[in-house]
Amino acid sequence: MPYGWGWRLSGPSFEGLRSSVVSKLTDVPKRILIGRALRSDRLGQTLLPKRVALPVFASDPLSSVAYAPGEVLLVLSIAGLSAYHFSPWIAAAVVVLMFTVVASYRQNVHAYPSGGGDYEVANTNLGPKAGLTVASALLVDYVLTVAVSISSGIENLGSAIPFVVEHKVACAIGVIVLLTLMNLRGVKESGTLFAIPTYVFVAGVFTMIAWGAFRAVVLGDEMRAPTADYEIKPEHPGLAGFALLFLLLRAFSSGCAALTGVEAISNGVPAFRKPKSRNAATTLAMMGLLAVTMFCGIIGLAMATNVRMAENPGKDLVHDGVPLGPDYVQHPVISQVAEAVFGHGSLLFIVLAAATALVLFLAANTAYNGFPLLGSILAQDRYLPRQLHTRGDRLAFSNGIVLLAGAAALLVWVYGADSTRLIQLYIVGVFVSFTLSQTGMVRHWNRLLATENEPARRRHMIRSRAINAFGAFFTGLVLVVVLVTKFTHGAWVALLGMCIFYAMMTAIRRHYDRVAEEIAAPDTPSDDMARPSRVHSVVLVSKIHRPMLRALAYAKLMRSDTLEAVSVNVDPAETRALHAEWERRGIDVPLKVLDSPYREVTRPVIEYVKSLRRESPRDVVSVIIPEYVVGHWYEHLLHNQSALRLKGRLLFTPGVMVTSVPYQLQSSEVAKKRARKRQEWVAPGSVRRGPAERAKESSPPT
């Protein structure tokens, strides 16, 4: 064998081999956990029929009946057992509110079927600030939905398995990780998995309501909850007047937790099968009817079976004059009612208990579908990092799913997976979005009525406007009640979170706008379009802006035999816009578009460059990459790192030369000043050694 033709286990070739092996080893567990990557053209196959969309988008409001009745009774217990007789009236108010919100959102899904939901409605009709307020509120509420649902599910499961209660934070975070992996597999697959326990829960609750009503009305049986013999020691006995009214309003605001997640369907209209708007509206109606019936049924059975609940059960629940003590574990209302109706340890009781715990875990799926989709829309509008707009291997918005999981896990850890503490932060955000959305819909109908002359369509618009106007008034009233009654109990934390999201998204948008303005391609010739004097081969193009024009001008300088611009088709709409702009400007370089069915940028370019090498092995391919330079570390998080990844891959491709054409943004001046200060810094003792020795020390080693 001639010298130098053997294998060398070092250098770029070995590094490339090692990188390939490591990539394959890390890809195997990823495929096992979330499945094979799906092509972009299979997106239509992931759309949901109504029977799957109901558990996917409505699992939150459906499952909230497992804890919302208990929250009502917990608040009423402050005034003692005598206040319990107000619970049916509070339930009636919640029912009216639920029907109002459902009817209002049915107008939303028909008017705005693109999936923007409350954000799009507010942004279009009330302006960007209102839209950003709604987006901030929804993002906070989605994170809280995951934290509250899973914490409540852990508490329900802990009544049967003590280990779960003893390690509830770890168990809750474990459930979050499991749900995250399930959602990373794709919306349709996760929806199919979630459909069975959700429907079992709904069937179990309806069976409990029907059998309980039959036993009470027809058989005349006396059903007693496990806590029926306990007395409640009121914290504030004899409340009357304004104090009693305030207590009832607080109980009503806690019961409004049953409405969380209603807006998720309006955000998820694109995920429905055609006709999308009609299917979404039908699913909304089904969800509202089921949730209202279950909520009222559980409240009624809780009254019939004499359920007792207290905010401090060890101290406020008394049996034979003696407090139950700190070791007492208070079971949720639905568990106590099920035990009274079915009997402790019966098959139906066990099935309902298991389904309740499971559906509370899966209720977080509403947020897992709403948060990433809203994050994608906000990223497209440049309010969040662009990475949130990209679909993952399974055509789900993977980055948004992971971000939601991380935020929810942090919240669970901070609040110790305590649903009673977490629920005080809840529903503020959702009623902010309800109110602004319905106000925006009123302005939407006013705008359309100003130009519509057909009587039938005008009558339809007037009716829709009346529904939305009543919804805006009612939800606005509830928002005031929630803020007044829950502010000091934790609602201020949710408001603080909304303000942080608002400020962060405003700053991100300002950064993207500044960068877009700085790199915008001019209509008239400029320095960026000036042709130097020689070199080239392949210029990578994402869109037409100053960095690209500068790279193209530099490529013309090289005067190579062939020169072409190459773009990767990740988004067909953006590719069409690029073609149109390319032709409009009359750029005299051919534009080649590489197809990317899996929405990858790096691999299609690598494969294309390798194909050029295979066609002409003796030629050298020069890849020119335009990129702009930023000065702050956090700015790197706001821009994708595809150029860096591409350069790293091309380094190991023989016969390929990579050239970066940097475009310095204004913020890069900060880094330049830092570098200049480091150069100007004089080490102690360097003055004594003299300029010759200092220059010798500062010179690079040979």
Q: How confident is the model at residue 206 (pLDDT cuts 50, 70, 90)?
A: very high
| Domain match, 329 and 384 both | yes
In 309-427, alpha helices (H) = 313-316, 333-342, 347-380, 398-414, 419-422
- Which DSSP category does 491 fall into? I
| Residue 24 pLDDT exceeds 50 | no
Is 550 found in the same domain as 485? no
* 477 shares its domain with 606: no
Whether 410 and 330 share a structural domain: yes
What is the pLDDT, as a whole number, of residue 44? Answer: 46
Q: What percent of the chain has pLDDT over 70?
A: 80
Q: What pLDDT, on the 0 to 100 scale, is given for residue 683?
A: 43
Contact predicate 503/380, CB 8 Å: no
Strand partners, 592: 566
This prediction has a pTM of 0.68
Reported as a single tens digit per residue, the pLDDT across 57-85 is 777 778 778 778 888 888 888 877 878 88
Q: What is the pLDDT of residue 692?
A: 44
pLDDT at residue 211, rounded to an integer: 92
- Is 501 inside a domain boundary? no
Q: Do 537 and 453 have their domain in common?
A: no
The mean of the pLDDT values for the chain is 77
Residue 479 has pLDDT above 80, yes or no: yes
Please determine, for residue 530, whether its predicted confidence score (pLDDT) is greater than 90. no
CB atoms within 10 A of CB 85: 10
Q: Predicted confidence band at 426 (pLDDT cuts at 50, 70, 90)?
A: confident
> How confident is the model over 84-112, as a mean pLDDT?
85
Give pLDDT tens digits for 337-380.
998 998 887 888 888 888 887 887 777 777 887 788 888 888 88
Backbone angles phi, psi at 628, to 5 degrees: -105, 150
Domain count, the chain: 2
Please report the pLDDT score of residue 379 as a whole number: 85
pLDDT at 41 over 90: no
The 10s digit of each residue's pLDDT in 551-565 is 888 888 877 778 899
The CA distance from 430 to 138, in Å, is: 6
Given a cut of 60, whether residue 454 has pLDDT beyond it is: yes
Q: 574-582 contacts: CB < 8 A, separation 24 or more?
A: 574/543, 578/541, 578/543, 578/544, 581/543, 581/544, 582/544
Q: Give the span between the Cα atoms of 661 and 554, in whole angstroms.
A: 8
Name the pairing type of β-strands 322-323 and 317-319: antiparallel
Cis peptide before 113 (omega within 30 of 0): no
241: in domain: yes
Identify the band that residue 400 occupies on the pLDDT scale cut at 50, 70 and 90.
Answer: confident
Tokens of 306: 């004499």
Beta bridge partners of 48: 272
Read off the pLDDT of residues 157-202 as tens digits, 9 standing for 90 and up: 766 677 776 788 888 888 888 888 877 765 545 556 667 888 888 8
Q: Answer yes or no: do 579 and 440 share one domain.
A: no
Q: What is the 3-state secondary structure (H, E, C) of 253-293?
A: HHHHHHHCCCCHHHHCHHHECCCHHHHHHHHHHHHHHHHHH
In a domain, 416, yes or no: yes
| Residue 169 placed within a domain | yes
Contact of 171 with 152, CB cutoff 8 Å:
no
Lowest mean pLDDT among 240-249, 293-302, 487-496, 615-624: 240-249
pLDDT-derived band of residue 112, with 50, 70 and 90 as boundaries?
Answer: confident
Sign of CA dihedral 412, 416, 419, 423: negative
407 pLDDT more than 80: yes
Does the residue 696 lie in any domain? no
pLDDT for position 11: 40
Identify whether the C-beta of residue 286 lies closer than 8 Å to the C-beta of residue 49: no
44-58, 137-151, 160-174, 561-575: least confidently modelled range: 44-58
Say which residue, 425 or 498, is predicted with more confidence: 498
Tokens describing residue 449: 């009525």
Helix ranges, 185-275 (H)? 187-214, 242-255, 264-267
pLDDT at 19 over 60: no
- Which of the pair, 430 or 203, is modelled with greater confidence? 203
Report the pLDDT value the prediction gives residue 23, as an integer from 0 to 100.
45
- The answer to the question of residue 240 being in a domain is yes
State whether 547 and 452 are in the same domain. Answer: no
Q: Which pLDDT band holds residue 502 (cuts at 50, 70, 90)?
A: very high
Range with the lowest mean pLDDT among 338-352, 405-419, 675-689?
675-689
Residues in CB range of 186: below 8 A, 6 or more apart: 35, 38, 46, 394, 395, 396
pLDDT tens digits for range 292-334: 898 889 998 988 888 888 877 878 888 887 888 877 777 888 8
- How far from chain centre, in Å, is Cα 432? 17
**Residue tagged 């529904």 (tokens):** 467
pLDDT recorded at residue 392: 58
Residue 626 belongs to a domain with what CATH number?
3.40.50
pLDDT at 504: 92
If asked whether residues 484 and 539 sit together in one domain, one would say no
* Residue 547 shares a structural domain with residue 486: no
Give me the amino acid identity at 308.
R
Domain identity same for 485 and 609: no
Percentages (nearest 5) of helix, strand, coil residues in the chain: 70, 5, 25
Q: Residue 603: what pLDDT? A: 85
Among candidate residues 444, 470, 490, the one where a domain is terminated: 490
Tens digits of residue pLDDT in 580-623 = 888 888 888 899 888 888 777 888 888 888 888 788 777 788 88
Whether 481 and 601 map to the same domain: the answer is no
- Look at residues 462, 490, 518 and tell me which one is the last residue of a structural domain: 490
Residue 213 CB-half CA count within 13 A: 11
> Is residue 262 predicted with pLDDT exceeding 70?
yes
Section 265-281 average pLDDT: 79
CATH number of the domain that 140 lies in?
1.20.1740.10
Task: Give the structural domain span for 318.
Answer: 33-490
For residue 602, the model assigns a pLDDT of: 82
What average pLDDT does range 653-679 have in this prediction?
73
The reported pLDDT for the residue numbered 506 is 92
Do residues 436 and 554 both lie within one domain? no
> Which of the four pLDDT bands, split at 50, 70 and 90, describes residue 701?
very low
CB atoms within 10 A of CB 10: 7
CA 498, 380, 34 angle in degrees (round to 5)?
A: 90
Mean pLDDT (whole number) for 429-449: 88
In a domain? residue 315? yes
Res. 503: pLDDT tops 90: yes
Q: Residue 677: its pLDDT value, please?
A: 61
pLDDT band at 700, cuts 50/70/90? very low
Nearest to 122 by CA among 109, 110, 135: 135
Tokens 């809840």 sit on residue:
426
pLDDT at position 264 is 73
In a domain, 60, yes or no: yes
Structure tokens at 452: 């519509």
Query: What pLDDT does residue 234 have?
Result: 77
Q: Which residues contact 345 (CB under 8 A, 6 or more apart)?
A: none
